[in-house]
């Protein structure tokens, strides 16, 4: 069946961090309609079982499919690690992209002379070893150095991304990685692009590639839609934002992550 190029792109996350992916997609694909779903009633996913994460992810997938999306972007590292295969099987012919594959693909594009890649993420993402598996599927000889940085999420949501507290926190977290002579550092959490400049300064290595999986997945989406002749050509796509609960300050936080005003946020029950 022929897909409609004017259909929206569906993007989802367990909460608010996936809006960094929305922002990157808006920049890469300004003509596209975007539907975002943040599962704010059930965040965080990192403490849930894999079975529960899959169940939640498939519920959100059904929500997006009912809105006839032409593509789904998984803007959540936990879901990418736990439920990517289940989502692909569930939607059949709708393309599904995820941030772990996107981040891995982006870093593989660089020449890794020392074959040393760093990954920072939440406790759940680092504990899953999903990036190690994804990277080693491309090249088993690459050395992967992972570091959980759990304090960065609350700092991002407080707006403290480049102040003294943020810089000191990054210095502590990145101290070990700085000594590893990394070729690339993958930002393995959708909150972390907000710290990109501060992280680059702290690593103090002009040759290191800082991999923002939000930018990477947006580029993958553009390539995939172009290959399928599904790029929307009408100017100025629209944005719809849905959440499962509207916690205090959500709109303020969402606009900070997105870098623009959100006219309406709709609460839906799955």
- The pLDDT tens digits for 208-228 are 999 999 999 999 999 999 999
Told to judge if 76 belongs to the known catalytic residues of this protein, a careful annotator would answer yes
Mean pLDDT of 86-101: 94
Averaged pLDDT for residues 58-62? 97
Mean per-residue pLDDT, 65-82: 94
At residue 112, the pLDDT reads 63
pLDDT (0 to 100) of residue 113: 67
Q: What is the pLDDT of residue 92?
A: 85
pLDDT value of residue 256: 84
* Residue 189 annotated in active site: yes
Question: Residue 247 — φ and ψ, nearest 5°?
Answer: -65, 160
- pTM value? 0.91
Give all domains of the chain, ordered by start, each with its CATH number. Answer: 9-98+215-267 (3.40.50.1860), 101-213 (3.40.50.1860)
Angle between helices 250-258 and 19-28 (to 10 degrees): 40
What is the 8-class DSSP label of residue 140?
A: T
Instruction: Pick the catalytic residue from 60, 76, 91, 117.
Output: 76
Q: Which of 9-23, 147-161, 253-267 has the lowest mean pLDDT?
A: 253-267
Q: Which of the following is catalytic: 152, 153, 189, 254?
A: 189
Question: What pLDDT score was predicted for residue 38?
Answer: 94
Give the span between the Cα atoms of 215 and 222, in whole angstroms: 11
């Amino acid at each position: 069946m022929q897909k409609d190029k004017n259909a929206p792109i569906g993007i989802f996350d367990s909460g608010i961090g996936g809006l960094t992916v929305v922002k990157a997609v808006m920049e890469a694909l300004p003509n596209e309609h975007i539907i975002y779903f943040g599962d704010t009633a059930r965040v965080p996913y990192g403490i849930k079982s894999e079975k529960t994460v899959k169940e939640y992810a498939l519920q959100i997938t059904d929500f997006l499919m009912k809105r006839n999306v032409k593509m789904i972007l998984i803007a959540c590292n936990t879901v990418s690690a736990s439920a990517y295969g289940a989502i692909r099987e569930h939607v059949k012919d709708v393309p599904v992209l995820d941030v772990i594959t996107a981040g891995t693909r982006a870093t593989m594009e660089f020449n890794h002379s020392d074959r040393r890649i760093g990954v920072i993420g939440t406790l759940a993402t680092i504990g899953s070893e999903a990036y190690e598996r994804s990277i080693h599927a491309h090249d088993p000889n690459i050395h992967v150095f992972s570091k959980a940085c759990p304090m960065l999420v609350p700092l991002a949501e407080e707006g403290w991304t480049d102040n003294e507290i943020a810089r000191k926190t990054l210095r502590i977290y990145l101290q070990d990685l700085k000594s590893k002579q990394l070729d690339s550092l993958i930002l393995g959490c959708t909150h972390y692009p907000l710290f990109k400049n501060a992280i680059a300064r702290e690593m103090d290595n002009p040759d290191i590639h800082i991999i923002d999986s939000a930018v990477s997945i947006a580029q993958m989406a553009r390539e995939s839609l172009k290959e399928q002749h599904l790029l929307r050509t009408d100017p100025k796509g629209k944005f719809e934002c849905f959440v499962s609960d509207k916690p205090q300050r959500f709109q303020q936080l969402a606009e900070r992550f997105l870098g623009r005003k959100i006219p309406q946020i709709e609460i839906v029950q799955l």
